[in-house]
Amino acid sequence: MPDITLTDVSKSYGTGPAAVTDLNLTVPDGSFTCLLGPSGCGKTTTLRMIAGLEHPTAGAISVGGRVLDSVERGVFVPPERREMGLVFQNYALWPHLTVARNVEFGLRVRRMPARKRAERVRQALTAMQIDWAADRYPAQLSGGQQQRVSLARMLAVDPKVLLLDEPLSNLDAQLRLEMRAELKRLHAETGQTIVFVTHDQLEAMTMATHVAVLNKGVLQQLAAPMEVYRRPANRFVGGFVGSPPMNLIELGDTRSGTEVRRQLDRLRPELLPRVAAVGVRPEAIRIAESGPADDWVFEASVGAVLPTGSSWTVSVTPTSGTDPSASAPVDGGPELYLVSYQDVAATTGARVRCRVSADDLHLFDDDGARIATAPAPAVAP
């Protein structure tokens, strides 16, 4: 039923640079779509435009075929007629109303009979496990509790689309984890279309069915989370999604650059002229003596080993591959980070052999766009 479609939507505030530029985005019905991007990239603006609180300077927005905004055709449906729910980053509860009255507000507006209203309020509060606070005022609740009330307030009116603006950013780590699970459960139960804004890639990865990555007001990629992770559309997405971030190796004069160029020359010589940089995820770098023949193999000296409990993050600096005996002062070759899930025996200064399987090299061209790679052809050793 209600796909949310944004067509060529642009928005600029006053004379400043555009907050959103030519955004084309379809949020599939029933999806849990996450708008992901660094702070200031236009996520909130996009969300508010969908809600009707900001007005695009160009383009059109429609939900389920119903046009809500069309600058060209002069159509505008005000927020109060859009039947959406929006949870604000700072909750925006009404301080003069009790929790129950806050939740009841939307139902009163819809002139629902009192009996039914009370029932719905109770349901919504129970669903968010905040029914015990029904008679309190928002100021008497903690941030996490206000968050639940603010969700309950929107759930009560059963909106077609639920919009959430960084709903977890003001919560502490423990609560955040709980609310993530809760939101996912909520989505599974109601099947509502949810659009969720965050700058935290982990949040996007863990919760969303679809991720739309934005940067400087421009859509970078819209795909399933694992797709975004595995096949980032460009350097920005590659670098933004994943923690620790992807290693980006310029094909320049650096040691790793030279190393990886040699590897590409061996495997995909036809692509080499187009490649400007190569991305390698930290968890794709293995410390291993042996492996498949088409692996990119390089010698490296260990900089630091940082155990995190479940894994080890290791910084390594490639030494020259041709002359393994040469000592490896850190002379400008960028350090690479790798994540290992097995105990790293090596200590600072040790020499190790690193391997990256050919499929794990992300190639980016001069503009930073991903270079599609057909499955690598078998290479003779």
Partner 1 sequence: MTAVAQPRASAWGRLRYRLSVWRREPTVLLGAVLVLILLYLVVAPLIAVLSDAGQVQYGDEEKAGAAAGSVTSFYLWRVFRSPVSQLLFWEPLVHTITVAIGVTLVAFVVGGSMAWLVSRTNVACRGFLSTALVVPYMLPSWTFALAWLSLFKNDRAGGQIGILEAWGVHTPDWLAYGAVPITICLGLHYYPFVFLLFGNALRRIDSQLEDSARILGAGRFTVLRRVTLPLMLPALSSAILLVFGRILGTFGTPYVLGLPVNYTLLSTSLFSAVRNHQQGVASVVTGVIVLIGVAVVLIDTRLVREQTRFVTVGGKGAMDRRSPLGRMRWPATGLGLGVFVVAVVVPVLVLALTTVTRTPGVFRRGNFTLKYWIAEHLDGAPGFPHGVLRGGDLYTAAFNSLRIVGIAALVCGVLGLLVGYVVVRTGGSRLSGVLRQVTFLPYLVPGIAFAAAFLSLFAVRRGPIPALYGSLALLVIVLIVTHLPYSSRSGISAMMQLGREPEEAAQVCGAGWLYRVRRVILPIQKGPLVAGVLLPFVSGLKELSIVIMLTTTGTQLLTTLSINLVDFAYSQMANAVVLVIAVVSFLATYLTQRLSRTSLASGLGG
Ligand X SMILES: Nc1ncnc2c1ncn2[C@@H]1O[C@H](COP(=O)(O)OP(=O)(O)O)[C@@H](O)[C@H]1O
Contacts with ligand X by CB under 6 A lie at: 13, 16, 19, 37, 39-45
Beta bridge partners of 223: 211
- Written as six digits, the tokens of 317 are 């600096």
Residue 80 interacting partner from Mg ion, ligand X, partner 1, none (CB closer than 5 to 8 Å by kind):
partner 1
How far is it, in rounded angstroms, from Cα 255 to Cα 263? 12
Among the candidate windows 84-92, 140-148, 227-235, 237-245, which touches partner 1 by CB under 8 A?
Answer: 84-92
Closest to Mg ion by CB, 44 vs 256, is 44
Assess contact for 337 and 247: CB atoms under 8 A: yes
Contact flag: residue 44 with Mg ion (CB under 5 A):
yes
Contact flag: residue 198 with Mg ion (CB under 5 A):
no
Contact flag: residue 96 with partner 1 (CB under 8 A):
yes
**Minimum CB separation from ligand X for residue 53, in Å?**
10
Residue 42 interacting partner from partner 1, Mg ion, ligand X, none (CB closer than 5 to 8 Å by kind):
ligand X
For the chain, how far is it from start to end, CA to CA, in angstroms? Answer: 54
Closest to partner 1 by CB, 81 vs 266, is 81
**Minimum CB separation from ligand X for residue 207, in Å?**
18
CA distances from 277 to 42, 91, 234, 239, 364 (A): 27, 42, 11, 12, 5
**Minimum CB separation from partner 1 for residue 208, in Å?**
22
- Residues 6 or more apart whose CB falls under 8 angstroms from that of 355 comprise 285, 286, 287, 288, 291, 295, 296, 297
Alpha helices in 72-220 (DSSP H): 99-109, 114-127, 143-156, 173-190, 201-207
**Minimum CB separation from ligand X for residue 369, in Å?**
22
**Minimum CB separation from ligand X for residue 35, in Å?**
8
| Closest residue to ligand X using C-beta atoms | 44
Q: What angle do CA 195, 28, 47 make, to 5 degrees?
A: 30
How far is it, in rounded angstroms, from Cα 280 to Cα 374? 17
Residues between 151 and 170 that touch partner 1 (CB under 8 A): 153-154, 157
Residues that bind partner 1 (CB under 8 A): 13-14, 51, 53, 55, 57-58, 69-76, 78-86, 88, 90, 92-96, 105-106, 109-110, 153-154, 157
Residues that bind Mg ion (CB under 5 A): 44
